[in-house]
Copies of this chain bind each other. A is one copy, B any other.
Amino acid sequence: MGEFELIERYFKRGAHQLAREVALGIGDDCALLQPAPDTQIAISSDMLVQGRHFLPEVDPGALGHKALAVNLSDLAACGAQPRAFTLALALPQADERWLAAFSRGLFALADTHICELIGGDTTQGPLNICITVFGEVPVVSGRSQVLLRSGARPGDDVYVSGTLGDARLALDALNGKLDIPAALLAQARVRLEQPTPRVALGLALRGVASAAIDVSDGLLGDLGHVLKASNCGAIINTSVAIELLAACRHSGNANAAADRLQLSHEQRLSYVLAGGDDYELLFTAPATMRATVQAAARTSDTPVTRIGRIEAEPGLRLINARGKPVSGRFASFDHFA
Say if the beta carbon of A80 comes within 8 Å of chain B.
Answer: yes
User: Which among A118-126, A170-178, A179-187, A285-293 touches the partner chain?
Assistant: A118-126
* Prevailing SS type, chain A contact patch: strand
Q: Mark A25-65, 1 if CB is under 8 A from B, else 0.
A: 00111111111010011111111011111000000000000
Contacts of A121 in B (CB 8 A): 45-47, 130
Contact A34 B40 (CB under 8 A): yes
Of A3, A44, A77, A335, which is in contact with the most chain B CB atoms at under 10 Å from its CB?
A335
List A residues 177-232 near B (Cβ within 8 Å).
212-214, 229
A43 to B90, CA, bound (A): 19
Q: Mark A278-318, 1 if CB is under 8 A from B, else 0.
A: 00000000000000000000000000000000000000000
- Closest B residue to A135 by CB, please name it: B30
Say if the beta carbon of A321 comes within 8 Å of chain B.
Answer: no
Contacts of A43 in B (CB 8 A): 30-33, 86, 118-119, 132, 134
Say if the beta carbon of A75 comes within 8 Å of chain B.
Answer: yes
Of A1, A86, A130, A337, which is in contact with the most chain B CB atoms at under 10 Å from its CB?
A130
Say if the beta carbon of A239 comes within 8 Å of chain B.
Answer: no
Interface residues on A, range: 35 or more
Question: Known: A32-B40, A132-B132. Is A119-B45 also a contact (CB below 8 A)?
Answer: yes
Chain copies in the assembled complex: 2
How far in angstroms is the closest Cβ of chain B from A160?
Answer: 15
List A residues 120-149 near B (Cβ within 8 Å).
120-126, 128, 130, 132, 134-135, 137, 139, 144, 146, 148-149
Contact A88 B47 (CB under 8 A): yes
Contact B336 A86 (CB under 8 A): no
Say if the beta carbon of A94 comes within 8 Å of chain B.
Answer: yes
How far in angstroms is the closest Cβ of chain B from A262?
Answer: 31
Contact A29 B144 (CB under 8 A): no
Contact A126 B35 (CB under 8 A): no
List A residues 92-124 near B (Cβ within 8 Å).
93-94, 118-124
Of A35, A37, A47, A49, which is in contact with the most chain B CB atoms at under 10 Å from its CB?
A47
Question: Known: A35-B35, A47-B88, A132-B86. Is A74-B30 also a contact (CB below 8 A)?
Answer: yes
Name the contact of A128 in the complex, choosing from B37, B45, B78, B128 (C-beta under 8 A): B128
Contact A144 B23 (CB under 8 A): yes
